[in-house]
Amino acid sequence: MKKIYTILFTLLIFSIVNAQSLPIDFETMATTSDFIDFDGGTATIIDNPQPNGINTSSKVAQIVRDGGEVWAGSKIELAANLDFSSQNSIVMKVFSTAPIGTTVKFKLEGINASTERDVQTTDTNEWEELTWDFTGEPSIFNSVIFMFDFGNVGNGSANSTFLFDDVDQLFAGLQIDFPVDFEDSDVNYTMSDFGGNSSTLTTDPEDNTNTVIQAIKTDQAATWAGTTIGTPAGFATNLPLTLSSSKMNVRVWSPESGTPIRLKVEDSKDPTHTCETETNTTVIGWEIIEFDFLNQAPGTELLSVGLEKGWTYNRVHFKLTHFTIDIQKEIY
């Protein structure tokens, strides 16, 4: 019996010594043995093979995905739970040769609890810093999990090999709220793309005093691809939609008229609670488009039904049902 107690005590000490804390830079923080690989992902710490751009550090982490499952990856245990009350976001530098729009899932786990966020890459063949917003999450998570190219099975190739570095927690701005004009430097205007869309915060090419979101539907995007206005946490307050106040105005720039644009509202905590409406652009260039959620898109739930059930909406998605480029949207 004494021998069993000795073995258990040794394992506990090992776990405590090797638990990590953010930030993790892979120079002096963490070793390959700190990674816990799963389902086809293999993580190692290596000499930086791409010491350029925003990351010239000597050491980085690498995950190679080869077979296994679509969620293959690796994780690191932390010494203490993450606290998002003031530092609401996780940031990480990423390098890949995979196509722009590749999904990087960042998952947090605790005892009997987990939460996750998806961010799409916006560059290929160069380092970029990605941000995952965990605003409002409780302080119950002590594992960080890295899942690159989530949704696809890796094949061990260059496009299934991902470099990452400088995992940190910081304040990335106030949670976005309605109305939105993209002009407040204190607000986190990170967008959440899906289906192959790529969006960026940029200067209006027709007015250098105006900041807008440019959403590009790539030629590799799905027909349902779009952009979520804000992070997965949604708006700080619920949208004031009622049967007598059911319209939302959006200022849109489109390269062609007659382009269908679908607007979807949903509950960030229950994405089955939705309402969608659709209308077409009428000009080339800027225009103000009115979306009325009493005119729901075919096959989607009525606003009246959702309100009767007590549904609330605090997240907005734009879906471009046809291929278009350089769609810029300003909510106000």
Residue at which a domain ends, from 170, 203, 238: 170
Give the total number of structural domains in the chain.
Answer: 2
Q: What's this model's pTM, rounded to 2 decimal places?
A: 0.69
CATH number at 312 reads 2.60.120
32 shares a domain with 75: yes
Query: What are the CA-CA distances from residue 23 to residues 131, 169, 227 (Å)?
Result: 14, 7, 29
DSSP string computed for 129-158: EEEEE-TT--S---EEEEEETTTS-EESSG
CATH number at 158 reads 2.60.120.260
6 membership: H or E segment, kind and range: helix 2-18
Return averaged pLDDT per consecutive 10 residues of the chain, 332 residues in all: 38 47 86 94 97 97 97 96 92 96 94 90 93 89 97 97 96 87 88 81 88 82 83 88 93 88 92 94 91 94 96 89 48 52
166 shares a domain with 62: yes
CA-CA distance, 50 to 174, in Å (whole number)?
33
- Structural domain including 325 reads 192-331
Structure tokens at 46: 């290596």
Residue 244 belongs to some domain of the structure? yes
- 3-class secondary structure, 286: strand
199 shares a domain with 166: no
234 shares a domain with 162: no
46 membership: H or E segment, kind and range: strand 41-47
Q: Give the rounded distance of the alpha carbon of 107 from its chain centre.
A: 11
201 shares a domain with 164: no
- For residue 52, the cross-strand partners are 55
CB 231 within 8 A of CB 192: yes
